[in-house]
Every structure is written in structure tokens, then in C-alpha cells.
Amino acid sequence: GQQLNQSPQSMFIQEGEDVSMNCTSSSIFNTWLWYKQDPGEGPVLLIALYKAGELTSNGRLTAQFGITRKDSFLNISASIPSDVGIYFCAGQGTASKLTFGTGTRLQVTL
């Protein structure tokens, strides 16, 4: 099945640094979602974006829905150790199905 391209694939950062990751698609989506998955667990929704150009924040997280509706980015400010995990973007089209990105593995060093 289709997957969305996420970059970077993985990143090591120091505690306190800001993080940026993005997601691109060849298809248009009506909704963009960002999830975090910890090892051995299901994904947890972080941010949902419903309109092209929308910029939404949730605490230290900020995400934007690209104008073209084919991309989105997620920023994490002042990273902390518990930010470690895999971040997935997901696009939702007119049908209810979610298409997930390839994931960005975040590791934080003290």
C-alpha cells in the first residue's frame, strides 16, 4: 500500500534542542495527523490538522498543514528525554482510511 515519505528517518538530538520533521505525499489529503508511538504500544495522536495552511500547537509541539495539501511538518521545541519514540504522520482523504508515513525515530541524548 501507499506510504507517505517522512524525513529524517531518524535523528539524535541533545536535550533542549528543537526538532523538525516533515512528511510529503504525492496525493492530496483533507486531514493530516501526527502520532507518536512508543516501543510495543499503539500510536497516540499528538496533533490533527484539518485545513490547508493551518498551524496548530499542542504544548511544545507545532504542526502545519501544507498549502498544497500534500505535505505537513511537525516541530518539537526544547526536547526532553520522554520525547524519545517514533513519530508518524498520517493523511486522511475523502474516505476514512489513514495512510501512514514511514516514521521518524527520535532519540534524545542528555
Partner 1 sequence: GAVVSQHPSWVICKSGTSVKIECRSLDFQATTMFWYRQFPKQSLMLMATSNEGSKATYEQGVEKDKFLINHASLTLSTLTVTSAHPEDSSFYICSASRTAQETQYFGPGTRLLVL
Q: Does 59 interact with partner 1 (rule: CB under 8 A)? A: no
Residue 101 touches partner 1, criterion: CB under 8 A: yes
The residue (of 76 and 89) whose beta carbon lies closer to partner 1 is 89
Smallest gap from residue 95 Cβ to partner 1 (A): 8
Q: Round to whole Å and give the CA distance between 62 and 86.
A: 16
Q: Which helix (H) or strand (E) holds 5?
A: strand 5-7
Rule CB under 8 A: say whether 43 interacts with partner 1: yes
Instruction: Verify binding: residue 45, partner 1, rule CB under 8 A.
Output: yes
Could you tell me the smallest distance in angstroms from the CB atom of residue 43 to partner 1?
5
19, 13 Cβ separation under 8 angstroms: yes
b/e code 41-52 from CB counts within 10 Å (16+ = b)? eebeebbbbeeb
Enumerate binding residues for partner 1 (CB under 8 A): 1, 3, 35, 40-45, 48, 88, 95-103
